[in-house]
A and B are shown apart, each in its own frame.
Chain A
Amino acid sequence: MIQATKKHTRFLFMFIFPAFIIYTVFMLLPIINSMKYSLYSGDGLVPGTFVGLDNFIRLFTEERYYSRFWGAFGNNIKFFLIVTFIQNILGFFMAVFITRSFKGSGFMRKLSFLPTTLSVLVVGFIFKLILNPYYGIFDKVLEAVGMGDFIIPWLGDPRSALVIVSIAVSWQFFGESVLFYSSGIDSIDESIMEAARIDGANIWHEIIHIILPSVLPIVGIVTILIFIGDFTQFDIIFAMTGTRGDPNYSTDLFGSLFYRTAFSSAERGGWGTGMGATVATMMFITVTIGVGGFLAFFNKKKEELGK
């Protein structure tokens, strides 16, 4: 590290500028500028009439808008909770087991990450095909093992569709949580574990007193990443239940709501670009509040443990 002086200014500027400008102009500014369009209304692709906060007022007072918005909001929370449970809690335990010393541990670590490399679209389509009530393999397997009575129209029933979609997403990103937690467990000093074992600690003690405290920061990261991913998730809905979140909007999430309202024709649920931008702004507020909340929560936890 060297102290930058005046003679470095030109060179530093040249080095930082390209990344800075691309990143700012095509990633940060668009979000702010898009919010600007939420104050406009109009027919065309670019809304031209300034209407102040009218779009927001309409979003929360007109039934045809707020029913969709709160519907997607509620679904998104359920979706997030299911995915968090599977990826965070089950993923954590899987990491505890996968880091035990056994033959094939390295292979399992690599394999577990494989689904994450696939496209969400592909994963959604595969699950949709496997769960097809007519030729899907899943139902046929259930029948073959005598569990035919449990078969329901997985993606056709509003009670099960969202759960199935959540499982498909979790299947794909489970490996990512496992990988993160495993690396956290790997970095725990081996001597601490040894000492605990000599003291006769069983696996539960190990988990609660040693593993959990040391991977807590990772729980925070994983949770925040899941939160952002889930509250902007679109591809899985497009692939499995369509942009209207079938059946009957029971799988409509913020991502599909945003796509439909901002980019579809009125006949397919489009609300015009201005209202679409309003939805995006509300999503941004939700994500920001959520991330802020999680950061505060996990920092506090960290401090408590630090003491």
Chain B
Amino acid sequence: MKKIALLMSVLVALTLLTGCQKKEESKTAEVKVEKVKLVFTSWRTEDIERMNRINDEFTKANPNIEIDFQPVKDTEYDAQLRQSLAAGVGADIIFLRSYDSGYQIYKTESLMDLNSVLPELKEFPSAAVAAWATPEGESYGIPAAGVVHGIYYRKSIFEKYGLDVPATWDEFIAACDTLKAGGETVFAQGTKDNWMLYEVMYSGLGANFYGGEEARQALMNKEARFTDDNFVLALEKMKELQAYFPERYEGIDYVTMQQIFGTGNAAMFMGGSWEIGIFEDLGGLEDVGYFAPPLAKAGDTLQYCFHVDAGIAMNKNTKHMEEVKTYMKWLASSDYAQLYMNELPGFFSYTPGNYTLNNQLAKEMQSYVSDSVPTVRTVWEKLSADSPSGNELVGEAIQMMYAGTLTPAEAAKFVDDGLSWYY
């Protein structure tokens, strides 16, 4: 027992000592160069190394400012952010989700109105700015990153069966049939994490069937209901894909999907542009291709879900107002945008400027934009402001549809019923 007591007290002493030393060091440093440390938070825990490299560039130009990137796990992020801001311990620079999630935070009066800080926001695409602005036009977030949804495929597997990239739904299904007949795992898809079913599949692939942006607007303006034929049709199309899911797809979660596709064990994966980095880490990108959601019929215009993913806000109550403003200016610059898109291919910046994308897949994703109508996730705006949120409902409905408990029409009704608080 004595030994253990001794060991423990040594450990305590160590913690206390190192704790004190660190503080003293930083104090002396402050006096010398007045170094300021800004805390930057986000839900992208996988980006730590990449963001540190980007921020190093900033510190090179501004040696007195150091950026401490402290992301929080995606699922806990919103709650953590809300509470830490309320407690006055929030980060200085904050990743903010678009529309209502971000707006809820702004309403707590803890974020800065950026219009005066960053006049250059006027130059940004107005639709993107609107995703982080109040109806009155106060902007609280720099539109920092958009993501697209589409289909990744394995080039080698497609070559083996002589398949071309499908442009229409019929070609897409035909390709699936060929792959299935050949004994391949067609999709690395599972239904355990239902947000994927909504965010990527329904919003991405379904948009061409429910009528994309126009239909989304109608739904939001209460001119259309989720039980309308076009929304049900999109659900039916999603149901068609079930035949090509791998065995025991109900138990496959998001991470497992990435592993199956990333290690080359499935022909296709319906995913988001943010996954480029993950596939690069898992097995390289040489064999990975990408195509946009197939059209309902040839000649249609692509309804491309180019989702407003991340805005960057600043904490109104920061202790380092001037330094934060300097950093925010940099975040709104094309220098940052270029660095960001190089480090994190698949995230597309809204900052005006001419950029060269160094990643082939990101280029392909980008190439579809010019001939398409951009839209965002189906019920992200307004319809997810209260509980149960549209975001949850659509995911749950499709999950139950795949489990066989609901038909597509019943799934649509389930969503519509759940949204009764909106009507």
- B is a partner of A: yes
Among A247, A266, A269, point to the contact of B192 (Cβ < 8 A): A247
**B400 and A264: CB pair below 8 A?**
no
A184 within 8 A of B: no
**A156 and B386: CB pair below 8 A?**
no
Residues of B within 8 A of A155 (CB): 192, 251
**B78 and A156: CB pair below 8 A?**
no
A306 within 8 A of B: no
Q: CA of A265 to CA of B253 in the docked complex: distance in angstroms? A: 23
B418 to A: closest C-beta gap in Å: 7
Question: Number of contacting residues on A, CB 8 A?
Answer: 32
Q: CA of A205 to CA of B259 in the docked complex: distance in angstroms? A: 55
**B75 and A243: CB pair below 8 A?**
yes
B108 within 8 A of A: yes
Residues of B within 8 A of A290 (CB): none
**B86 and A44: CB pair below 8 A?**
yes
Residues of A within 8 A of B416 (CB): none
With A64-B388, A156-B251, A158-B403 as contacts: A242 and B259 at CB distance below 8 Å: no
B82 within 8 A of A: yes
Q: Binary interface profile of B, 178-196, with partner A (CB < 8 Å = 1, else 0)?
A: 0000000000001111100
B236 within 8 A of A: no
Among B87, B104, B400, point to the contact of A265 (Cβ < 8 A): B104
B226 to A: closest C-beta gap in Å: 16
B203 within 8 A of A: no
Among A156, A267, A269, point to the contact of B248 (Cβ < 8 A): A156
With A64-B418, A135-B256 as contacts: A268 and B78 at CB distance below 8 Å: yes
Q: Binary interface profile of A, 242-266, with partner B (CB < 8 Å = 1, else 0)?
A: 1110111000000000000001111
B264 to A: closest C-beta gap in Å: 13
Within 8 A of A (CB), among B359-389: 384-389
Within 8 A of A (CB), among B249-270: 249-253, 256, 259-260
Within 8 A of A (CB), among B103-129: 104, 107-108
Among B82, B192, B248, B251, point to the contact of A45 (Cβ < 8 A): B82
How many residues of B sit at the interface, in one of the four size bands? 35 or more
With A151-B248, A268-B78 as contacts: A43 and B107 at CB distance below 8 Å: yes
B396 within 8 A of A: yes
Q: CA of A187 to CA of B190 in the docked complex: distance in angstroms? A: 53
Q: CA of A264 to CA of B389 in the docked complex: distance in angstroms? A: 12
**A153 and B248: CB pair below 8 A?**
yes
Per DSSP, chain A at the interface is loop
With A44-B108, A45-B86, A265-B101 as contacts: A133 and B252 at CB distance below 8 Å: yes
**A263 and B418: CB pair below 8 A?**
no
A243 to B: closest C-beta gap in Å: 7
Residues of A within 8 A of B252 (CB): 133-134, 153, 156
A271 within 8 A of B: yes
* Most chain B CB within a 10 A radius of its CB, from A44, A134, A242, A264: A134
Per DSSP, chain B at the interface is helix
B178 to A: closest C-beta gap in Å: 23
Within 8 A of A (CB), among B182-235: 190-194
Residues of B within 8 A of A244 (CB): 392
**B251 and A154: CB pair below 8 A?**
yes
> In the complex, what residue of chain A is closest to B265 when comparing beta carbons?
A134
B92 within 8 A of A: no
> In the complex, what residue of chain B is closest to A264 when comparing beta carbons?
B79
A183 to B: closest C-beta gap in Å: 23
Residues of A within 8 A of B309 (CB): none
A236 to B: closest C-beta gap in Å: 16
Within 8 A of B (CB), among A138-187: 151-158
Q: CA of A3 to CA of B83 in the docked complex: distance in angstroms? A: 51
**A153 and B251: CB pair below 8 A?**
yes
B273 within 8 A of A: no
Residues of A within 8 A of B55 (CB): none
B233 to A: closest C-beta gap in Å: 24
> In the complex, what residue of chain B is closest to A262 when comparing beta carbons?
B79
Among B101, B249, B388, point to the contact of A153 (Cβ < 8 A): B249
A270 within 8 A of B: yes
Q: CA of A49 to CA of B415 in the docked complex: distance in angstroms? A: 31
Residues of A within 8 A of B391 (CB): 267
With A64-B418, A158-B403 as contacts: A267 and B101 at CB distance below 8 Å: yes
**A268 and B392: CB pair below 8 A?**
yes
Residues of B within 8 A of A132 (CB): 251, 253, 256
**A247 and B83: CB pair below 8 A?**
no
**A248 and B396: CB pair below 8 A?**
yes
Residues of A within 8 A of B79 (CB): 263-265, 268, 270
Contacts A/B (CB < 8 Å), 30 sampled: A43-B107, A44-B108, A45-B82, A45-B87, A64-B418, A64-B421, A133-B247, A133-B256, A152-B251, A153-B192, A153-B248, A153-B250, A156-B248, A156-B249, A156-B251, A157-B250, A157-B251, A158-B403, A244-B392, A246-B194, A247-B250, A248-B399, A263-B79, A263-B83, A266-B104, A266-B389, A267-B387, A268-B392, A269-B387, A269-B388
8 further A-B contacts with Cβ under 8 Å, apart from A135-B259, A263-B79, are A43-B108, A45-B83, A133-B190, A133-B252, A135-B256, A154-B251, A246-B194, A265-B79
Binding site for B on A (CB under 8 A): 43-45, 64, 131-135, 151-158, 242-244, 246-248, 263-271
